[in-house]
Amino acid sequence: MKTRHLLVSLASVSIVLAMPAFAAENAQDFVDKAAVGGRFEVDSSKIAQDKVTDQNVKEFAQKMIEDHNAANAKLESIAGEQKLQLPVDLDARHKSELQKLRDAAAPLDQPYVEMQRSAHADAVSLFEQYAKDGDNAPLKAFAQETLPTLKMHKEMIEKIATTSTDSSSAANSTTPAVKTTDTPSPSAPVPGANSFTEDQAKDRIQDAGYSNVSKLTKDDQGIWRGQASKDGKNTPIALDYQGNIVSGKN
């Protein structure tokens, strides 16, 4: 009997380890995460509208308000029909990020863009997983229908981030120009104001396949630095404001 319980426990651990970093365990968990993410998109974009200067960023923020309000309303309707509860408030992490936007002085273009890049990476991961393996048919259909829009948003914000990075590099003669693409892989981390928290930076590094991530320290160039293991080797690790991960460089 003990052996059976041990095998069941080990199987459960294997399932957890195999799941994506940002995934839903069941229908209620999906509703919780999708609702919080959707509200964060709307609330952060409302704050950004009055504190960003780039017209492309302003238009993106307006689109987030419209698209995510529509998706949030649909999710609320389905959740009600399925007797599932919507969270009454944002979680601590999203509240903290909203407060940073409220407290920060304009312009907020770069912090808002970086928050949106991270948020849409999480959203696409969540909806992809549930669209494939969801345990509730109406919610699974909702995830499948909403996923293309989230992917479009992700492409839009990545393009905006690339354009703004290229413009900043060209305008600042003291900063080496860095050519970025939709899938950037620079040989060195890119300096810039970094909106990732230490926990977010650590999660991103772990999602890239690293383990044993040490305490991270952000240097005066906005780069999170520390140590991590991969393929059995311990190496210096760095994460820049664009989310690029560079290993082997101090």
Q: What are 159-187's pLDDT values in tens digits?
A: 998 886 544 444 443 433 333 334 444 67
SS (H, E, C) 157-193: HHHHHHHHHHHHHHHCCCCCCCCCCCCCCCCCCCCCC
Inter-residue contact 37 to 63 (CB < 8 Å) = no
Nearest-CA neighbor of 165 among 240, 76, 102? 240
Gyration radius of the chain's alpha carbons: 20
Say if pTM beats, i.e. exceeds, 0.75. Answer: no
Q: What one-letter code names the amino acid at 47?
A: I
Helices and strands per DSSP (H, E), number in the chain: 7, 4
Beta-bridge partners for 225:
217, 238
DSSP SS3 for 245: strand
pLDDT single digits (tens) 221-240:
888 999 999 888 899 999 88
Neighbouring residues of 224: CB distance < 8 A, sequence distance ≥ 6? 194, 196, 198, 201, 216, 217, 218, 238, 239, 240
Q: Do 87 and 32 meet the contact criterion of CB atoms below 8 Å apart?
A: yes
Instruction: Give me the tens of pLDDT residue by residue for the chain, a chain 250 residues long.
Output: 444 443 333 333 333 333 444 678 899 999 999 999 999 999 999 999 989 999 999 999 999 999 999 999 999 999 999 999 999 999 999 999 999 999 988 888 999 999 999 999 999 999 999 999 999 999 999 999 999 999 999 999 999 988 865 444 444 434 333 333 344 446 788 887 777 888 888 888 988 888 999 999 988 888 899 999 988 889 999 988 888 898 876 5
Alpha carbons 62 and 107: distance in angstroms, whole number: 16
Question: To 10 degrees, what angle do helices 27-49 and 137-171 make?
Answer: 30
Q: Is 150 helix (H, G, I), strand (E, B) or coil?
A: helix
Here the tokens at position 224 are: 């999170």
